[in-house]
Structure formats: C-alpha cells, structure tokens
C-alpha cells in the first residue's frame, strides 16, 4: 500500500482544472508552427523526414541520399505522417513539427497520471505543471528531435511501474509499450532502463517483492517483443551492413569505445548542467528526499522516482555524445519527486519561490519588449547595437497580429499572477505561467529575428540562384555537416556527393580558406555565403573550368 500523503487543503476544482489544462495546451502549441527547421538538430531531423516524404525507403532513415543509422525511425515515421496529413494547410516542416507536440503532450499526460498514482488523486496536474516549467523543456519540447519520442516512452514506462503491484495486465502493457516506443526512438536506452529499474526496486525494498509486480514484468517483456524485434529483423533482411552500422557502429561498439576513455570531462556534464536544466524541479525534489530521509524504506511513493533518477543519471553520464537534450529523461523522475514535496513545502519557501518567479519573469519580459522595440525603432541603445551587430542584415518590421498576441499574453499574465489563490503550489503555477509568457513573447516578437539566424533558407536560395543551367553533380571537398546537407536538399533540391573519383563539375567547400588541391587551377569560385549572423559556418561553391593549353 502506498504511503499516505497529507490531505490536500486546496483541491483542484473544475475551474482550476480548466485553467491548468489551458495553460498546458497554450505552452504545448506555442512555437510548433511558423518557422523553418532550425540549426542544428531540427535541420538534420527534418532532412530525414523530408527524404521519407520524397519516396526514400521508410525502413532505412536517409539523409540527402545517404543512410543515417544513428537512431531507429519511429519519430521520423510519425513526423512524416503528420507532415502528409497537414500538408494542405501547413508547410511540410511545420506539419512535421506537430509530431513533437504529439509526443510532448503524451509525456505530460503519462507523467501526470504517474504523479496522480504515486502522490494522490489531486496531484497529477502538479507533476505535469512542474515538468513543463523546467527550463530544459522549454525549447526542446517544441523542436523536431527524436528524444521527445524517447521521453514519451520513458514516461509510459514509469506509469507502468507505478501500477505494477495492483493492475498486472495494465501495468505490463504500459511498461512494454513504453519500452518499445523508447527503443524505436533512440535504441537500447529504454530496455536497459527497464531492466535496471525492475531489478533495483525489489532490491531496495521488500514492498516491491510482490507476485503481481513480477507478473507485470513478464507481461512487459512479452508485449515489448514486437517493438524490439520487427524493425531490427526487417533492417537485417534489407541490409546486414546497415544493421551492423546501427547496432555496432552507432550503439554497442561506440559505447565500448567510449567506456575505454572514461572518465572524461563530459562525464560530469549533467552534474554541472542539471541545476539549470531541471529548475525549479530539483530543489523541490531534494526537499522531498531530505524530508523523508529517515523513512525512505516506508515511502514507496518515492522509491520509483528516486531510483529511476539515480539510474538514469548514471546511465546517461556513461553514454557517448553527451549534450543537454539527452538530459530530458532526468526531468521526469525529478518532476515526480517535486510534486510529492508540494503539500509539505514550508510557506516561507513557497512564498520565496513565488516572489522570485514573479520578479524574474517581470524583468525578462520587460527586457524582451525593450529589445524588440529597440530593433523596431532602430535606436542607438547598447542592446540594439549588439543585436544589429549580431545580425546586420536583419530589418525589423511591425507585425500587428504577433504584437497583439504578445500584448494580450503579457496582460493575462499580470492578471493571473495576482489572482491565483494562495496555496503551497502557487509558486509552481506562477513559474509555469511565466515560462509560457516568455515562450509566447519569443515566438511572436522575436520569431523573425531568430528565424533569420537559425534558418538555412536564405543561404540555400542564394546558392541555388548561382547554379549553372547544366551540371552533372555537386561534390563536397570537405566534410559537410548533417544540418546543411539536409537543408540543401529541402530548400534547394541539392544533393552533394562524396566525389572521390572527381567526376563532379561542381564542388562545395565548407570553410573560409580558398580551395586547395593539386588541380586547384581547374576550379573557379562562383558563389560563397553563410547563414545570417553566422561567421563560423562559411561555404564556397566552385565550378570546374577547362584550362586551355598554350
């Protein structure tokens, strides 16, 4: 039986539930449409999706003509179907990005249900609100990244574990499906996480050594088999070489090679960056654990989130290619722990967090309005000069509809911040509301400025205009990143080749230095450029010329 939490003096009324649901929907939908695929992760992700839409094999993710075996294709399948479904109304990249909203919405639902199961019927919404308020979720939850499908799978996996001692079939199916979604999104992380959590819980406490728990694990393993076997077997039948590239080169072999170099500087990345990625969930989670430190063995409502966080933290720290987007799964157990702490949070601490959130978002909102007005009026303030130096080619224009949306959101935030009733959870709601306001301001007032700096559209169209009427192919003399290759394909229908035989009559070079080779005199530069505001990523296009012999 789960540990009984203190009774809730502030139940969620239907009106409060409607307001909280509206907050989640507004946060979720803002920023999903209206801008190009952004460098770097969105650009290459959409390149894989666009290749599927162009008729490439859906079994093998392909980037501008080359197999891309880093991740299984579940997210790309979902995004491609979404792009096709909404193609009459939205550009392909906007339609594909709706898949991100779909998976993020599932994550909020699953983690909310898990919070309600662990912490009480009235606290599921609190878990979801804590999660959407985390700084690390704000941008990544609205981008085309396959990690969002992994996040949904892990959230469903945790939900299954929460029910595993009471509802065998339901819990087993949830765990198996969550494991399968995570596997087809990012590979072996979700199955490994399932195994480690399944072993850790009964080792930690005898409360988990129950018959129903072990039966649900068996059902989970059986229900996960189709997810774990069908795509890998189909891939192996299609191409054993590509299967080996996925299973060994990008997963098992890469992991073994990485472990041989441990410990490295990246091993402590999450320890250093989690304080801002998981704010404000982590201090609340720490309070929950600290308060229950003498009775953790009896607090079975804390066992699952605490152990899953520790396991995730260790596993993710041992994986190669560490970066902040990979930390998203850590936010799930932290949100569960944070929501468990809310009923016992001291009034002084709650009021301090509340005051900090109100003052922080007030200052940042003023700064966003001030900077936008400076660009629009072209004044000579230091901030304006810095912004114009970063993007000298950008010209701000007044867009009435986005400005009105931003003004209305700011006004509503001012009203809601002072009208939300006093409770220990007011600070959490105010923080999530403030995060939503900032995201709305960024996606309305600042969207043109961001899009011009993060999109490849202008650069690719400029290059496309200089291409000769007839040419056989475009080679690449230097390694070209996944993001530019994907956007060359999407915006310009340009595919570059690894031209080792030197058969192409056009050559794309990345870098500022002039092209140097044994036959450099046979090449003439016909174009060079870069994305607006990006001085590091520069490109040059050369055309082969016939040298007349004297």
pLDDT in tens, 9-30: 556 677 778 888 999 999 999 9
Average pLDDT over residues 495-518: 80
Beta bridge partners of 66: 63
Greater confidence (517 vs 496) lies with 496
Q: What pLDDT band is residue 480 in, cutting at 50, 70 and 90? A: confident
User: Could you tell me if 174 and 202 lie in one domain?
Assistant: yes
Which of 323, 344, 365 marks a domain boundary?
A: 344
Average pLDDT over residues 82-98: 96
Task: Please give the tally of structural domains in the chain.
Answer: 3
CA distance 149 to 157: 12
User: Could you tell me if 378 and 246 lie in one domain?
Assistant: no
Listed in sequence order, the residues at least 6 apart from 465 whose beta carbon sits closer than 8 Å to its beta carbon are: none
Residue 268 lies in a domain: yes
pLDDT-wise least confident of 130-139, 165-174, 201-210, 499-508: 499-508
Q: Cβ(428)–Cβ(126) under 8 Å?
A: yes
Average pLDDT over residues 39-56: 93
CA distance 238 to 492: 30
User: Could you tell me if 184 and 149 lie in one domain?
Assistant: yes
Residue 6 lies in a domain: no
Average pLDDT over residues 512-526: 74
Q: What is the pLDDT of residue 114?
A: 97
Please determine, for residue 1, whether its predicted confidence score (pLDDT) is greater than 50: no
User: Could you tell me if 280 and 153 lie in one domain?
Assistant: yes
Which of 326, 344, 362 marks a domain boundary?
A: 344
CA distance 134 to 3: 27
496, HSE (Cβ side, Cα atoms, 13 Å): 25
Which of 328, 344, 360 marks a domain boundary?
A: 344
Residue 296 lies in a domain: yes
Please determine, for residue 5, whether its predicted confidence score (pLDDT) is greater than 70: no
How are strands ordered across the β-sheet holding 474-476?
A: 496-497, 474-476, 506-510, 538-544, 523-530
User: Could you tell me if 99 and 212 lie in one domain?
Assistant: yes
Please determine, for residue 424, whether its predicted confidence score (pLDDT) is greater than 70: no
Please determine, for residue 516, whether its predicted confidence score (pLDDT) is greater than 80: no
pLDDT-wise least confident of 90-104, 383-397, 513-527: 513-527
Q: What is the pLDDT of residue 411?
A: 94
User: Could you tell me if 305 and 372 lie in one domain?
Assistant: no
Please determine, for residue 7, whether its predicted confidence score (pLDDT) is greater than 70: no
- Tokens 């919405």 belong to 105
Please determine, for residue 259, whether its predicted confidence score (pLDDT) is greater than 80: no
Can you read off the two tokens belonging to residue 485?
Answer: 């290759």
Nearest to 190 by CA among 177, 202, 171, 203: 177
CA distance 180 to 154: 10
User: Could you tell me if 184 and 109 lie in one domain?
Assistant: yes
Dihedral sign, Cα of residue 477, residue 478, residue 482, residue 485? negative
User: Could you tell me if 153 and 198 lie in one domain?
Assistant: yes
Residue 104 lies in a domain: yes
| Residues across the chain | 550
Listed in sequence order, the residues at least 6 apart from 338 whose beta carbon sits closer than 8 Å to its beta carbon are: 127, 130, 280, 281, 282, 284, 285, 288, 428
Give CA separation, 3 vs 127, 300, 349, in Å: 18, 6, 24
User: Could you tell me if 380 and 308 lie in one domain?
Assistant: no
Q: What pLDDT band is residue 40 in, cutting at 50, 70 and 90? A: confident
User: Could you tell me if 461 and 437 lie in one domain?
Assistant: no
Cα–Cα–Cα angle for 441, 445, 451, nearest 5°? 105
- The conformational region for residue 449 under phi > 0 = left, psi -120 to 50 = alpha, else beta, is alpha
Average pLDDT over residues 76-98: 96
For 220-229, the pLDDT digits (tens) are 999 999 999 9
Phi, psi of 67 (to 5 degrees): -60, 140
Can you read off the two tokens belonging to residue 84?
Answer: 């096709």
Residue 381 lies in a domain: yes
Residue 246 lies in a domain: yes
Please determine, for residue 423, whether its predicted confidence score (pLDDT) is greater than 90: no
Q: What pLDDT band is residue 392 in, cutting at 50, 70 and 90? A: confident
Please determine, for residue 2, whether its predicted confidence score (pLDDT) is greater than 60: no
Percent of all residues in the chain with a pLDDT value above 70, rounded to a whole number: 93
Average pLDDT over residues 436-445: 97
Q: What is the pLDDT of residue 46?
A: 97
Residue 20 lies in a domain: no
**Mean pLDDT taken over the chain:** 90
Listed in sequence order, the residues at least 6 apart from 367 whose beta carbon sits closer than 8 Å to its beta carbon are: none
Please determine, for residue 385, whether its predicted confidence score (pLDDT) is greater than 80: yes
Residue 8 lies in a domain: no
User: Could you tell me if 226 and 329 lie in one domain?
Assistant: yes
Please determine, for residue 155, whether its predicted confidence score (pLDDT) is greater than 50: yes
Q: What pLDDT band is residue 4 in, cutting at 50, 70 and 90? A: very low
User: Could you tell me if 253 and 395 lie in one domain?
Assistant: no
Residue 382: which domain range?
A: 347-423+431-454
Q: What is the pLDDT of residue 453?
A: 87
Q: What is the pLDDT of residue 413?
A: 92
Q: What pLDDT band is residue 120 in, cutting at 50, 70 and 90? A: confident
Can you read off the two tokens belonging to residue 221?
Answer: 């393993």
Q: For the whole model, what pTM was predicted?
A: 0.93
């Amino acid at each position: 039986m789960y540990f009984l939490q203190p009774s809730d003096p502030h139940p969620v009324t239907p009106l409060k539930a409607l307001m909280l649901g509206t907050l989640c929907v507004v946060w979720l939908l803002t920023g999903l449409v209206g801008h190009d695929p952004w460098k770097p992760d969105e650009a290459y992700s959409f390149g894989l999706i666009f290749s599927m839409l162009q008729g490439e094999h859906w079994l093998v993710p392909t980037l501008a003509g080359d197999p891309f075996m880093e991740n299984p294709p579940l997210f790309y399948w979902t995004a491609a179907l979404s792009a096709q479904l909404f193609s009459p109304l939205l550009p392909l990249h906007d339609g594909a990005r709706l898949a991100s909203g779909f998976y993020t919405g599932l994550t909020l639902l699953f983690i909310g249900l898990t919070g309600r199961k662990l912490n009480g019927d009235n606290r599921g919404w609190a878990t979801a609100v804590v999660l959407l308020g985390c700084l690390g979720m704000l941008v990544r939850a609205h981008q085309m990244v396959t990690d969002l499908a992994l996040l949904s799978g892990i959230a469903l996996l945790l939900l299954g574990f929460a029910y595993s001692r009471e509802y065998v079939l339901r819990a087993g199916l949830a765990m198996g499906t969550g494991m399968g979604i995570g596997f087809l999104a990012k590979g072996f992380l979700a199955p490994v996480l399932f195994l480690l959590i399944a072993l850790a819980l009964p080792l930690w406490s005898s409360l988990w050594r129950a018959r129903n728990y072990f039966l649900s694990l068996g059902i989970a393993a059986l229900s996960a088999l189709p997810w774990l076997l069908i795509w890998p077997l189909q891939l192996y039948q299609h191409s054993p070489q590509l299967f080996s590239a996925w299973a060994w080169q990008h997963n098992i072999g890469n992991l073994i090679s990485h472990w041989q170099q441990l410990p490295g500087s990246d091993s402590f990345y999450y320890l250093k960056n989690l304080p801002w990625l998981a704010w404000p969930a982590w201090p609340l989670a720490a309070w929950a654990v600290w308060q229950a430190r003498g009775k953790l063995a009896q607090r079975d409502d804390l066992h699952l989130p605490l152990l899953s966080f520790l396991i995730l933290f260790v596993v993710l720290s041992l994986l190669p290619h560490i970066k902040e987007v990979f930390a998203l799964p850590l936010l799930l157990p932290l949100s569960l722990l944070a929501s468990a702490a809310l009923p016992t949070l001291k009034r002084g601490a709650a009021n301090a967090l509340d005051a900090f959130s109100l003052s922080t978002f007030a200052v940042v909102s003023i700064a966003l309005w001030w900077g936008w007005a400076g660009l629009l009026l072209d004044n000579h303030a230091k901030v304006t000069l810095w912004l114009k130096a970063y993007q000298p080619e950008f010209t701000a224009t007044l867009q009435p509809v986005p400005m009105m949306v931003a003004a209305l959101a700011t006004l509503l935030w001012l009203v809601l911040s002072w009208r939300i009733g006093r409770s220990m959870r007011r600070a959490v709601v105010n923080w999530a509301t403030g995060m939503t306001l900032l995201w709305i301001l960024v996606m309305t007032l600042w969207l043109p400025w961001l899009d011009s700096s993060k999109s490849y559209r202008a650069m690719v169209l400029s290059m496309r205009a200089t291409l000769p009427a007839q040419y056989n192919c475009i080679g690449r003399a230097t390694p070209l990143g996944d993001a530019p290759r994907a956007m060359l394909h999407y915006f310009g229908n340009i595919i570059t080749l690894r031209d080792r035989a030197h058969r192409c009559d056009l050559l794309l070079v990345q870098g500022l230095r002039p092209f140097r080779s044994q036959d450099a005199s046979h090449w003439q530069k016909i174009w060079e450029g870069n994305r607006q505001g990006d001085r590091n990523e520069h490109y040059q296009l050369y055309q082969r010329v016939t040298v007349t012999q004297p």
